[in-house]
Structure formats: structure tokens, C-alpha cells
């Protein structure tokens, strides 16, 4: 066990920090403006991308993905980074001015509590069992077993979702039937909280004093980390193995963080890094990429509108957009874009980049689930406390925008508003507002934006921008009262704000303990059944499993490794009556009515010989039949063989 | 608290929690494997006599790592049926009492109803039908 932990530690260190850090310091050299936390978060995300691209490159060059090849390429990249850093480091590292130390205890406490809530939710469910994770782990297992990257043939999976798990497993020697996938997702989720904290702080820094920006950052961290910590897209997604969303929610805020930093520091290097991370996003998750593009378009609309207003009202010719554009359109960003495009054309095309997949996502909503969520649904999915304060935050940001046009006002004094540049302020306001409003529109009025994707999936992306806005919203209400320094009123308002937050935001934590976690133990019995089938059957003998009642059934394919669609599965009954997509019914009938003519014909057609089911759930017909033998049994899982 | 101390402690906490999750995962996988009984038979070619059944059960039970198998004599055919399977090192639970029943139906099809019963779980977990 200890050896495993050391191996995991070293592997994750190499995969999720070292190469990214080396490249980051080589690129920024003495001018790294990211600070300690920013450097750690960006290094982690950068490493994730470097690992992904390195593995794709190894595979393209027809080398096997072995511990040696992965280790070697990452060490080579790290060494190159360090050499470049040493060569080009002409001046000593600039010391970044130390920020206020007093507030960092609050940061530690909020983050600790965020970690604690997630850990206590995950521990009872730590046995790998989730449906989505089982599907994803098949492809990870493919990489581990065959030491090469899979060709999916379906747009549902993207290579970036699987590479880090495959690399971690190959390097550490720890298999996927362990807590390793959950640990990686847990780390990704915690780093996404840190990315939100950093981004909020930077956005606020463009509008307020540094001290105020810290406060807003902490409020935002509280909103994303502690409140609604179990609900999707947080701990539930870690446990459920919703890899793409979790990675998307780490990459998107980190990209925006780098863009904002690039604007603030006028650094085209940071903008290029943002472009590079956008490339990683495209190789990781289609929906996140799709949303990212929409948010960027939304941002541009907001920004252009705001820029027009500033020009019109201020009549100031000094407000120039050209230097601003130079940060994003220059040789470095062009080279980065070229590098990513070369990868797409020469190394590997993301599996969803085809006309039919794009056509499925764009257009008028084709199903009821894609016609948009009601406001109530959105409030429920994002969290009532969070959505309320994010609305306040949105109004507050419009109010701040108005302050750009005022030289001196009471509000500027009360809220410690400090706008160094109207365009930078506009960038911060446009990004926070457009991110929230674009996703809100995409999930509430998808027809307006010609989106044909399940609205609930898009709505999950509202959590992160609303957490940022909630930070601004709470500050907007608290600050004037804190400013007056009347202790009783301050305490009362503080409680009025946070008690509903604690009740609403921690409700899902208390609710999750009612859930019976013993059912997850059944997964082990499914694994034993799968092991039995893997050993005692050959690939020609077809197997049918029951997805409705069997726990952890999607993991069976990881034991068999006979193709993604093996074994066949009886899915949820409602899916057999889908009017849009007509599907076969044999998988249902062979379990529900095996002794009827329909059932018998299905057995003949599909050549199913073995059925793995949950004992007592649709098993009676097999128990009493002379045509089936029960050949394997545990307390909860049975396998029948057709005679 | 200083900024770097806070960040350092946060990272330590993330790693400790990850280790703890891994440890709990391994522990849960091991514990759960001990909680249940598994019995699997691959040979379905049986005759209704004690000798073949003895061989059949012994052979399969050995594979699954059971030991101390005792059989309740519900039927005269199995009167002298005693099976002794040497203990093996597998981690599967070792049931204390097992009952094997034989049922011959009217159409002369032979059904063996093998019940594995232990102290905590009184369930029939295996059925094999032979023509």
C-alpha cells in the first residue's frame, strides 16, 4: 500500500506539475507575474496538456505507451524547459510584492472545508462503480492494455478525457479498479476551485483595490467550494466520473485567468499560454469547447457594446483598442495557434470534428429535454443562494461599469473602486457578465442561439460564472454596512446573508448521508461475476448484462476487453420507447420474456449465451426455466447460461 | 497566516486527502470481497449419482477456494457423500454449512438444487439443471 502511494505520488507529480512548471518558467522567465498560487495552478493545467500532447505524439510516432516512453518524453520536455529557462534568464527573478498575509488563513479554512465536504461524500462511495466512469475506463484500460491510443469511431469520447488516467496507471502500475481515477478527478475539481479563486481575484483587481479583490476572491471560493459542494458539477461529478465536465471546468477558468492576466500585464506570452490551453480544451471535451466558444462570442458582443459606450460618453481618444488587440494577435499567439492546428492535421483529429457531430449539436432543439430549462430548474441546478447573489453581482457590475464615467463618487469610496484603465475594467465586467448570461441563455432559450444539446448539461456550466458573480454580489451588500462600522447591524446583515447560504448550500451534504452506500459494495460482486465470465468464456460466446438493476455493470467490459459494445446491455426501459431514435428491443426482451417466441428469436439472433443479472430482479423466469442454468452466484449477482 | 504557508498547507491537505481516498478505496475493495460468497460451476455434464456429483462439487469448490465442506443428507442418494476440500489461500469467505439437495422431477429431467447456506445468509445461490 505504501509503495503504491509513493508510486502514485511520483507519477502524479510528473504528470500534473513538473513539465508544466518547467515550460512555464522557461516562457515567463524573470517576468512570471502569476504569483505562487497562480504558478501552481497554471503549471498543473499546463502539465495536463503537455502529458496529453506527448502521449498523442508518442502514439503517432508508432512507439508504444510504456512507462519508459512516457517517463522519457516528459523528462525531455522538462529538461528542455529548464535549459531554456537558464539560457534566457538574463535578469534575476522579480519578486512579486507580497499580498496581505492576514487573509490567507481564511483561504486555507475555506479550502480545507471544501476538501473535507468532498472527502466525506466520496469515502463511502469510493469503490469504482459509476456508469460514466465505467464507460470512460474502458478506453483508459485499452490504452493500458494495448499501449496505444484507441480510435473511438464515435464522437461521444475525446482522447483528452482518457490520457491522464492511462498515463497515471501506466506509470504508477495501479490499475483502474481502484480509487486512482477518483483521486485524479478529485484533484482536478479542487484545482478548478483554485482557478475560480484566482480568476475572481484578478477580475476584481481590475476594478477594485488589491485588498478588496482578495475579499471578493474569498467570497467566490466560499460560493464554489463550500456551498453546493456535493451537487453537480462538484462531488457528484467526481463520484460519477463526469470527466469532460470536470476538466472543462478546470480549463475554462484557467484560460480566462491567463487572458485576464495577459491584459493586466500586457503579456502576449500569457495570452499564448491561454491559446495553448484552449487547444487542450478542444482535445478534452466537446461540450466544454462549444460553451467556451459561445462565451467568447458573448464576451466580444459585450465588450464591443461597452467599448462603443465608453467612446461615445467619454469622447476620449486615448481609449485605444489597438494595444489591447496586440496582446492577443501577435507572433506568439499565431505560432501557438499554428502548433495546435498542426497537431489537429498531422497528429490526431479530435473525434467530434465531423459534420454530423456538429450538426447534432447545432440547430433547433429536437427533443423536449433540449428546449430549455425553466428559471426554477436553473435556480435548482445552480443553487438558490448562489443564483440570487450572482444576480446581485451582475447588477453590481453594471453599476461599476457606470462608475467608469464618473470621476469622483461616493460609491467609489465605499466600494474601494480603483479603475486604472476603462478598457481593463470593461474586460473584467464583460467577461464575468457574458460568461453567466451566455450560459443562462443557452440553457434557458436554446432555440435563440440555435443549440440542440440537452439543456440540463449546459446548465451545469452556470455554476462557475455564478460563483464568481456571487462573490461580487455578496461584497456589494456587505461592504456598505462594514464601511459604516456598526457592529450589530453588520453582524445581523452578515447572518442574513450567510445563514440562508449555509442552509441552502449545505443541504445537499446532509441529504447525501441518507443515501444507502452499502449498495456500492454490490459492485464487487459484479466484478467477481465479470472476472468469472472473462476467464470461463471466449470472445465468441456472447454475454448480456442488466444495466437497470446491476450495480457497476458498465465496468464489466473492463474485465472482458472484447470491444466497447461488449457485453450487450439491457438499458433503461424508457430508452426503448424513444420516438426520435428507434432502437432494438432484443436486449430488453431476452431478460424480460426469455421463454416467449420473441425472446427465443432474440437469443437466436444475438447468439447470447450468458446473462449476468442482479439476483431477485427479473431472475425468476431463468430460475424456473429448463433452458437456463445458474452457473455463478454471489449474494446479489447471478449468471445464467443458456443450454 | 502567511500566503505561502497557507498555499503549502493547502497542497499538503490535497495530497493527504488523495492518499486517504486511495487507502479507503483499497480497504473497501478488500473488505467487500470478504463480505459475500461466490460459487461457480462450469461443468454442466452431471449424472444423478453421488459419485459424479461428489467429483463435480469437489472439483469446482476446490477452484473457488472453499474448505470444510459438509453436506446435509437429505436424500438417500447422497447418504455417504462427504466432500473434503483442502483449504486454500483465496480471500473468499468460507461458509460454515452447506446443504445440497437433489430433486428429480417427473419427466426424469434431473435438477440439482445446490444451496449454499452460511450463518448470515440463508439463500440458495446455485442451481444447475441437467437434461
- Please give the Cα distance from A540 to A350 (Å, whole number): 32
Location of C-alpha cell 432474440: A602
Location of C-alpha cell 456429483: B53
Per the omega criterion (within 30 degrees of 0), is the bond before A613 cis? no
ipTM for the assembly = 0.88
In tens, the pLDDT along A590-600 reads: 999 999 999 99
Contact between B69 and B39 under an 8 Å Cβ cutoff? The reply is no
Per-residue pLDDT band at B39 (split at 50, 70, 90): low
B109 interface with A at CB cutoff 8 Å: yes
B5 interface with A at CB cutoff 8 Å: yes
DSSP 3-state helix, strand, coil percentages of chain B (rounded to 5)? 40, 20, 40
* pLDDT(B30) > 60: yes
B47 interface with A at CB cutoff 8 Å: no
Per the omega criterion (within 30 degrees of 0), is the bond before A553 cis? no
Q: List Cβ neighbours of A516 (8 Å cut-off, separation of 6 or more).
A: none
The separation between the first and the last C-alpha atoms of chain B, rounded to the nearest angstrom, is 78
- Pick from A277, A286, A104: which is nearest to A192 by CA? A277
Tell me which residue in B7, B11, B42 faces A631 most closely, judged by beta carbons.
B42
In tens, the pLDDT along B101-120 reads: 333 332 333 344 444 433 34
Per-residue pLDDT band at A448 (split at 50, 70, 90): confident
Whole-Å CA distances, A15 to A350, A621, B7 = 21, 51, 20
pLDDT at position A483 is 73
Tell me which residue in B22, B33, B131 faces A8 most closely, judged by beta carbons.
B22
φ and ψ of B69, to 5 deg: -85, 125
- Please give the Cα distance from A402 to A413 (Å, whole number): 15
- Pick from B86, B94, B38, B91: which is nearest to B62 by CA? B86
Residues A40-61 have a mean pLDDT of: 95
Contact between A631 and A640 under an 8 Å Cβ cutoff? The reply is yes
Per-residue pLDDT band at B129 (split at 50, 70, 90): very low
B26 interface with A at CB cutoff 8 Å: yes
Count H helices and E strands in chain A, helices first: 29, 5
pLDDT at position A372 is 77
pLDDT at position A353 is 73
B26/A190 touch (CB, cutoff 8 Å), yes or no: no
- Pick from A273, A440, A286, A283: which is nearest to A347 by CA? A283
Mean pLDDT of chain A: 88
- Please give the Cα distance from A405 to A324 (Å, whole number): 20
A643/B44 touch (CB, cutoff 8 Å), yes or no: yes
Q: Which helix H or strand E contains A168, and what residues bound it?
A: helix A163-172
What is the rounded radius of gyration, in angstroms, for the C-alpha atoms of chain A? 27
pLDDT at position B105 is 33
DSSP character at residue A303: H
Q: Which residue of chain B comes nearest to A214, CA vs CA? A: B3
Query: Would residue B26 be called left, alpha or beta, if left means φ above 0 and alpha means ψ between -120 and 50 degrees?
Result: alpha
* pLDDT(A63) > 50: yes
pLDDT at position A495 is 85
DSSP character at residue A383: -
**Residue of A37, A39, A633 to mutate, interface with B, max B Cβ within 10 Å:** A633
**In sequence order, what are the beta bridge partners of A639?**
A612, A632
SS (H, E, C) A473-519: HHHHHHHHHHHHCCHHHHHHHHHHHHHHHHHHHCHHHHHHCCCCHHH
Q: List Cβ neighbours of A220 (8 Å cut-off, separation of 6 or more).
A: A196, A197, A200, A467, A468, A470, A471, A472
pTM value is 0.87
Q: Which residue of chain A comes nearest to B23, CA vs CA? A: A1
Location of C-alpha cell 471544501: A114
Q: Which of A115-124, A267-276, A570-579, A602-611 has the lowest mean pLDDT?
A: A570-579
Location of C-alpha cell 459475500: B36
pLDDT at position A357 is 62
Whole-Å CA distances, A114 to A193, A387, A504 = 9, 19, 15
Helix (H, G, I), strand (E, B) or coil at A338: helix
In tens, the pLDDT along B56-98 reads: 555 555 454 443 333 333 333 333 333 333 333 333 333 323 3
**In sequence order, what are the beta bridge partners of A608?**
A542
Between A357 and A186, where is the model more confident? A186
- Please give the Cα distance from B7 to A39 (Å, whole number): 11
Helix (H, G, I), strand (E, B) or coil at A131: helix
Quick count: other Cβ atoms within 10 Å of Cβ A504? 16
pLDDT at position A391 is 96
pLDDT at position B76 is 33
φ and ψ of A575, to 5 deg: -70, -20
Chain B residue numbers touching A179 (CB-CB < 8 A): 21-22, 24-26
Per-residue pLDDT band at A428 (split at 50, 70, 90): very high
Tell me which residue in B1, B22, B38 faces A104 most closely, judged by beta carbons.
B1
**In sequence order, what are the beta bridge partners of B122?**
B117
Amino acid at each position: 500500500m505504501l509503495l503504491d502511494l509513493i508510486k502514485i505520488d511520483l507519477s502524479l507529480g510528473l504528470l500534473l506539475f513538473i513539465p508544466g512548471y518547467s515550460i512555464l518558467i522557461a516562457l515567463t522567465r524573470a517576468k512570471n507575474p502569476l504569483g505562487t498560487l497562480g504558478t501552481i495552478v497554471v503549471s498543473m493545467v499546463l502539465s495536463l496538456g503537455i502529458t496529453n500532447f506527448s502521449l498523442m505524439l508518442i502514439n503517432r510516432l508508432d512507439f508504444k505507451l510504456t512507462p519508459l516512453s512516457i517517463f522519457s518524453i516528459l523528462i525531455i520536455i522538462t529538461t528542455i524547459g529548464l535549459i531554456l529557462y537558464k539560457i534566457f534568464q538574463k535578469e534575476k527573478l522579480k519578486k512579486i510584492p507580497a499580498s496581505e498575509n492576514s487573509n490567507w488563513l481564511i483561504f486555507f479554512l475555506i479550502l480545507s472545508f471544501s476538501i473535507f465536504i468532498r472527502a466525506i461524500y466520496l469515502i463511502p462511495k469510493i469503490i469504482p462503480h459509476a456508469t460514466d466512469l465505467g464507460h470512460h475506463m474502458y478506453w483508459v484500460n485499452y490504452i493500458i492494455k494495448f499501449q496505444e491510443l484507441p480510435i473511438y469511431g464515435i464522437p461521444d469520447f475525446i482522447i483528452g478525457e482518457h490520457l491522464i488516467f492511462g498515463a497515471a496507471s501506466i506509470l504508477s502500475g495501479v490499475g483502474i479498479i481502484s480509487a486512482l481515477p477518483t483521486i485524479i478527478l478529485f484533484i482536478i475539481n479542487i484545482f478548478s476551485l483554485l482557478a475560480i479563486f484566482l480568476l475572481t481575484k484578478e477580475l476584481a483587481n481590475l476594478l477594485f483595490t488589491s485588498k478588496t479583490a482578495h475579499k471578493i476572491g474569498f467570497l467566490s471560493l466560499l460560493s464554489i467550494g463550500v456551498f453546493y459542494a456535493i451537487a453537480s458539477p462538484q462531488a457528484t461529478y467526481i463520484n460519477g466520473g463526469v470527466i469532460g465536465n470536470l476538466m472543462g471546468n478546470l480549463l475554462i477558468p484557467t484560460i480566462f485567468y491567463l487572458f485576464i492576466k495577459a491584459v493586466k500585464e500586457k503579456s502576449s506570452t500569457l495570452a499564448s499560454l491561454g491559446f495553448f490551453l484552449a487547444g487542450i480544451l478542444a482535445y478534452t471535451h466537446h461540450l466544454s469547447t462549444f460553451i467556451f466558444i459561445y462565451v467568447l462570442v458573448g464576451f466580444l458582443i459585450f465588450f464591443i457594446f461597452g467599448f462603443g459606450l465608453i467612446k461615445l460618453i467619454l469622447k476620449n481618444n486615448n481609449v485605444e483598442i489597438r494595444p489591447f488587440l496586440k496582446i492577443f494577435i501577435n507572433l506568439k499567439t499565431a505560432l501557438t495557434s499554428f502548433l495546435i492546428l498542426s497537431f489537429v492535421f498531422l497528429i490526431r483529429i479530435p473525434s467530434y470534428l465531423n459534420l454530423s457531430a456538429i450538426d447534432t449539436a447545432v440547430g433547433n432543439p429536437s427533443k423536449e429535454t433540449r428546449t430549455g430549462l425553466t428559471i426554477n430548474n436553473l435556480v435548482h441546478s445552480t443553487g438558490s443562494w448562489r443564483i440570487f447573489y450572482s444576480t446581485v453581482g451582475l447588477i453590481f457590475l453594471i453599476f461599476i461599469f457606470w462608475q467608469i464615467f464618473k470621476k469622483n463618487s461616493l460609491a467609489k469610496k465605499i466600494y474601494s473602486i480603483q479603475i486604472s484603465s476603462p478598457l481593463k475594467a470593461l474586460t473584467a465586467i464583460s467577461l464575468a457578465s457574458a460568461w453567466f448570461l451566455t450560459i443562462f441563455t443557452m440553457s434557458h432559450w436554446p432555440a435563440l442561439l440555435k443549440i440542440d444539446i440537452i439543456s440540463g448539461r449546459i446548465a451545469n456550466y452556470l455554476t462557475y460564472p455564478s460563483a464568481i458573480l456571487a462573490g461580487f454580489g455578496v461584497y456589494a451588500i456587505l461592504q456598505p454596512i462594514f464601511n459604516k462600522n456598526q457592529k450589530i447591524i453588520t453582524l445581523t446583515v452578515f447572518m442574513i446573508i450567510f445563514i440562508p447560504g449555509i442552509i441552502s448550500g449545505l443541504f445537499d451534504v446532509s441529504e447525501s448521508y441518507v443515501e444507502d452506500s452499502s449498495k456500492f459494495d454490490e459492485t464487487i460482486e459484479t466484478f467477481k461475476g465479470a472476472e468469472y465470465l472473462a476467464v470461463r468464456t471466449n470472445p465468441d460466446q456472447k454475454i448480456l448484462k442488466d444495466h437497470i438493476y446491476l450495480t457497476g455493470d458498465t465496468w464489466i467490459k473492463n474485465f472482458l476487453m472484447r470491444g466497447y459494445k461488449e457485453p450487450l446491455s439491457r438499458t433503461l426501459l424508457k430508452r426503448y420507447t424513444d420516438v426520435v431514435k428507434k432502437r432494438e428491443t432484443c436486449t430488453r426482451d431476452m431478460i424480460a420474456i426469455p421463454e416467449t417466441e420473441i425472446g427465443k428469436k432474440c437469443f437466436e439472433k444475438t447468439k447470447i449465451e450468458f446473462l449476468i443479472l442482479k439476483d431477485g430482479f427479473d431472475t425468476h423466469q431463468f430460475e424456473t426455466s429448463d433452458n437456463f442454468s445458474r452457473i455463478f452466484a454471489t449474494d446479489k449477482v447471478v449468471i445464467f447460461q443458456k443450454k | 497566516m502567511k500566503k505561502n504557508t497557507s498555499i503549502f498547507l493547502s497542497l499538503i491537505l490535497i495530497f493527504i486527502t488523495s492518499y486517504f481516498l486511495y487507502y479507503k478505496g483499497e480497504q473497501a475493495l478488500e473488505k467487500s470481497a470478504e463480505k459475500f460468497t461466490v460459487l461457480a460451476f462450469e461443468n454442466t455434464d452431471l449424472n444423478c449419482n453421488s459419485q459424479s456429483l461428489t467429483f463435480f462439487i469437489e472439483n469446482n469448490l476446490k477452484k473457488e477456494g472453499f474448505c470444510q465442506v459438509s453436506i446435509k443428507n437429505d436424500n438417500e442418494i447422497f447418504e455417504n457423500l462427504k466432500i473434503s476440500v483442502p483449504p486454500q489461500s483465496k480471500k473468499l469467505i468460507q461458509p460454515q454449512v452447506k446443504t445440497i439437495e437433489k430433486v428429480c422431477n417427473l419427466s426424469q429431467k434431473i435438477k440439482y438444487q445446490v444451496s449454499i447456506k452460511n450463518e448470515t445468509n440463508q439463500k440458495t445461490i446455485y442451481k444447475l439443471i441437467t437434461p
